[in-house]
Structure formats: C-alpha cells, structure tokens
Amino acid sequence: MVSVSVETPLPEVKVVRHARARNLRLRVEPTGIRLTVPLFCTKRQIQQFLNQSEPWLLATWAKQQQLLQTSTFPEQLVLFAHTQPFSIVKQKQRHIFIFNWELQTLFIRELESEKALQAAVLAYAKQFLPEYLNQISREIGLPYQACTVRKPKTRWGSCTSKHDIMLNAALVLMPESIVRSVCVHELAHTKHFDHSEAFWAEVAKHDRNYIEHRKQLKQVQLPSWYYQK
C-alpha cells in the first residue's frame, strides 16, 4: 500500500494494488480515501484518474466530513433479517454488548460505545449472514464451500477458486435486496470465476435488478461510528 497526494484540501489517497482488480475504484470513508488499482497500473495512470476524479472527491469528502461533525450516536439500530429496530442503551456493564431479543434492545458498554456498536454488528453478521448465504445457495442451485464474515474496507464480498465466500459484516446494515444481490454475485463466481458475459448472465438469471443493486451499493455511505478506531 502506498499513498499519493492531490493538490486539494484532501487527505492522502491510499493506493492498494489488488490482483483481481480490473478497474480503478475509489472509496471515500470518513477517515480517509482508498484507491484500489490493478497490479500493473502505472503511477501516471493513477494520477490521471485522480485528476479526473478531483471534483467528485472534493464533493464527497466534504459531505462525509459534514456528516461526521454533525453525526450523533444512534438511538436505534436497524439490522438485516430483523423486522423491528433495536433500541440502543448505553450503560456500565461487563460485556461490551448484550442483545436482549425479548426487549428488542441492544445494551452496549458506555465506555468506547462506538467500538461496542461495531462489535455488536460484527457478531450479528457472523450469526445471520452465513445462514442467509446458505439459503440463497439452495434457492438458486449454486453450492459453495465455506463462508466467513469480516470487515474489509474495499469489498462487499469475495469468492476464492476453492469456492470459499467472504461477506462484509456491514451488509447487515442494508436492505435484504442488497444483501441478496451480493450473495448472488459471489455464488455466481463458483460457476464463472471471472466477470465475463457468461458470469453476468448467471447473475441476471437470479437477480434481475442487479444493475440497480450495484448502483445502490456504490452510493452506500456507512455511518461514521462504523469507522471509529
């Protein structure tokens, strides 16, 4: 990973080279900017891309920082596969978080409450996302080997050549239609380990609105507390 500077009031852009990257992809987060590029992308290509993206970067970064400054800790948390939001209660307690399913309440440790909320989301995701992936796998007839849930910064999901699938924990903060779309995308890689026409045809077979879902994913801005360190 390297960093590059732009001649604007922006933080340094962290450049990550990835073997599976086919295009240059920017991701703006409240704490920084990441640019994922193919392995053999030149510095000149990177700089040209950043120059072309400068207006968008400035607007998006300013919006992120404004949200960060005005954001307040949430009183409720809406999670995938749960019909009602959880009320969030901060208190002094031994455990970093406690889900009370009967009261529809999430109790979190008052000290470092952002980290407690992150931990709760990750635990919830590890419980429910693998179950949901298995459900979609059976529904569309595309088996996989194993599922892990993590907190990557640049990918919503991935699939290895051994058909091991990784899902981003932040997906549980999104509607089911988006979660399903990501699951279908990764399961389609078990049949077509590329982004060929055959791959997209397989995706379309099981997710007719996949183009719209991809647009929605690109516009997702996760809450600022999710990035707190």
Query: What's the mean per-residue pLDDT of the chain?
Result: 89
Domains of the chain: which residue ranges? 13-70, 117-221
Tell me the average pLDDT across 5-24. Answer: 75
Query: Look-up: residue for tokens 């982004």?
Result: 195
pLDDT score at 203 = 97
pLDDT score at 60 = 84
> Residue 159 pLDDT > 90, yes or no?
yes
Closest CA to 147 of 126, 118, 122: 126
Under 8 Å CB-to-CB from 42, ≥6 apart: which residues? none
The predicted-structure confidence for 178-198, as pLDDT tens digits, reads as follows 999 999 999 999 999 999 999
Higher-confidence residue: 31 or 198?
Answer: 198
What CATH superfamily is the domain 117-221?
Answer: Metalloproteases ("zincins"), catalytic domain (3.30.2010.10)
pTM over 0.85: no
Assess contact for 166 and 152: CB atoms under 8 A.
yes
The predicted-structure confidence for 206-223, as pLDDT tens digits, reads as follows 999 999 999 898 888 788
For the packed helices 210-218 and 176-188, what is the interaxial angle rounded to 10 degrees?
Answer: 110
> Residue 33 pLDDT > 60, yes or no?
yes
